[in-house]
Amino acid sequence: MLAYLAGPDVFLPDAPAHAARKSAICAAHGITALPPLNEDVASLAAMGEEEAWRTIFAKDVAMMERADLVIANLTPFRGASADAGTLVELGWFLGRGRPIFGYSNTATPFAARSAALLARMPDPMPGLTVGGFGLPDNLMIPGAVETGGHPILLPEGGRDLPFDSLEVFERCVALAAKALARVA
C-alpha cells in the first residue's frame, strides 16, 4: 500500500530527515510512504527556475499516480487554510476517487483562524463572507477528507501542537492502515 504524503512538510528546514521519520511511522503500520521531496530531483540546483518547477510538478504528479491513497497534512500554512499545493493534491485524489486521510496540528477552528488573519490583513474589499460551519477549514477540505470515511484528525484536548509534530500524523497513519485493512 503506497501512501502519498502531501503537506507543507517539504518546506521544513530538515525536510528529508522529517520525511524519513514519517516514512518510518508508515512502515510500522505496513504502509509504504511516498514523500514528495524536492531533494529527490538530484540536478535541481543546476536548473533554471522554469525547468526546476516544471520538473518538481511532473515528479509530484507521477508520484500521486503511483499512490494508492493520500495522507495529507492540513495544518494551516501562510493563511487561514491548509497549504496551497497540498490542497491541489487533495483535490487530485478526490477527482480520482482514491482514499483520502487528513490531519492538522492546529485545533483552532477555521472561523477563529480567519478572524485572526483578518485582524492583521483585512480583505481587499468589505463584505466578503465564508461560512465557518464549525469546521477545521473551508468546507471543500473536510468534504474531500470525509470521502475516505473519517473526519480530519485534530490534536487531542483542543490545543495546537508544534507545526512539525508527528503525534496526529501517527494517529492518522494508524487509522488509514486499519481502514484499508478492513477494505482489503
Interface with a second copy by CB under 8 A: which residues?
8, 11-13, 38, 49-50, 52-54, 56-58, 60-61, 78-85, 87-96, 114, 117-118, 120-121, 123-131, 133-135, 137-144, 162-164
Amino acid letter, 90: L
d(CA 26, CA 34): 10
122 exposure class (CB count in 10 Å sphere: 0-12, 13-18, 19+): exposed
Q: 43 vs 182, which CB is nearer to a second copy?
A: 43
Shortest Å, Cβ 79 to a second copy: 2
Residue 73: strand pairing partners? 103
Nearer to a second copy, 33 or 74 (CB): 74
For residue 3, list its beta bridge partners. 33, 69
Q: By C-beta, is 33 or 85 nearer to a second copy?
A: 85
Q: Which is nearer to a second copy, 25 or 91 (CB)?
A: 91
| Nearest to 104, CA basis, from 23, 169, 24 | 169
Least distance (Å) from a second copy to the CB of residue 150? 15
Task: State the minimum distance, in angstroms, from the CB of residue 62 to a second copy.
Answer: 12
Q: Is 72 helix (H, G, I), strand (E, B) or coil?
A: strand
